[in-house]
Structure 1
Amino acid sequence: MRPARPTLPSTVRATTSAGRRRWLAGGTALALTTLAGCATRGLDTGGYSGPAYEGPPRRETAHALTETGELLHLFAARPTYPDLRLQLTGAVGGEPLLALARHSARRQLVVLGRSGRVYAVNADTGALTALNRPLPAPLTGQRFAMDVDPADGQLRVFGDDGAWRGAPDGVLQPDAGAVRLDSLASARAADGRAVQRYGIATTGGQLLRLELGPQGLQAAPVGSLGLPPLARASLGVADGADQGLLMLQLASEPLINRLALVDLASGRARLLGLLPAPPQVLSLVAER
């Protein structure tokens, strides 16, 4: 018997019967295999054995962007049953989509295109609306992370060929002094006022705590994720959460997407489930 279906947060209202038909007819086998409850005998998922989450159902919702331009809606409490998959449409010239973020002030999701355009996402239809103008030259890197900070409203982009920042509806500007990050996420703390910021360094598998100062973001290590070498990782942190959600691909199995729960106090990760086949997940955000 499936657990009761949680209520979708405000940024995701794609619950129409038509949307569900799109998911059921999606073709690609995207059902996640649940791993909770396997902790007592170890976790064996495609060659990797590691700790699994064991505890009360999680309240977070994960929104994941795939390399094929699809938006997946997942519940951490039951990752075996993805709620919906939407094909994102309307990118100028059909440009590739590189990263996903949550815009808290607008209560919406935004995605980054190869041109440097930022698009608002219609979570009911998958339609995209451009918010800004493109960069003078397209982004050339292969991996990108994006975040909209709840405190200053700045959109920050980190790629393997540089860093940029700016207002989501303005042209992004190079951020030459930015710290090197493979993933970042910011969210309101439990008091509703302070902002907590975290990042991931895939080299070394570290969770980082980020502080925003006069010189921009400064990083300090929290602790090891306790995972094998990573090929890619994307962190999502919900407002008021003390745990983050991490979508990761191991260096030894780069085509397998694993969803993990990360303790923000220690950095330790515990696996929730996996997506055993492509498409590869590029970016993830979390809400409660």
Structure 2
Amino acid sequence: MGHDHAHHASAGASDRMRLGVAIGIVGVVLVLEVVGAWLSGSLALLADAGHMLSDLIGLVIALVAAFVAARPATDRQTFGYQRVEVFAALVNGVILLVVAATVTIEAFGRLTAAEPPEVQTVPMLLVAAVGLVANLVALAVLRGGSRESLNMRGALLEVFGDLLGSIAVIAAGLVMLTTGFALADAVASLLIAAMIVPRAILLLRDVVRVLSESAPADTDVAEIREHLMGTPGVVAVHDVHVWQITSGSPVFSAHVEVDPEVFASGRAGDLLDELGGCLSEHFDVGHSTFQLEPAGHSGRSGREHAAHP
């Protein structure tokens, strides 16, 4: 367990460093895109800048959440502050939806305008190309922490959306440069908004799963129960609960009925170690709680609850 805590602390420090680097990259590109949108008159570039602004806010929130989540557990916050990462991901998802709605409204305004504003394609393409390279660098920086943290995965999705946005802006610029189709800029803006929405929904779905204390998507409760039943001395397993404090931090609890011989021979401690080791080795569950009961105890408990509701 000491190794697990050390690994988690090391991973947290690494995630914070990645977020700090990404914030610097996104912040610089954001300024460039705002200036470029002003000079070129490109809505697609401005939409991507708005998307990057939401991402910058999300990354800052994620960094603050990562620092708060690293605080140790207390008597009041018995699981620590890891769930702050989930609330940060919730805020990120909402920001993404707001940006998508704003961009969509503005794009339709340009598409229905009698005379769409003129767009300078050369500065638009230059800034979008810089944004593309910067987003690739930020994506590479964040990628290492994305699998272990919902917070980091949300940040990664946001930067990936910026990458797609830069590609859309470049494509629109090339179309306008080669064909003169001025509405390509507004169309690209709608594409950027369309790319934002699914990512926001997926992120919010994961947040709901954690906050509703659902079992992790990749966890088979029946399979866990079967593994525990295969442990010598175990007679039955009931009242099984599996949930997550945050992404990648599953928690397990169960009542385990055992042979009377387990208590008589003083093997209860060894059995607890076996059960905990089973979950840790086969299901990557680091925090588990078992209540050992003599065989048949669940039936008596049920009758007692029926008699005394």
TM-score tier after normalising by the smaller chain length: under 0.3
Structure 1 length as normaliser, TM-score? Answer: 0.25
Richer in strand (by share): 1
* Largest Rg, 1 or 2: 2
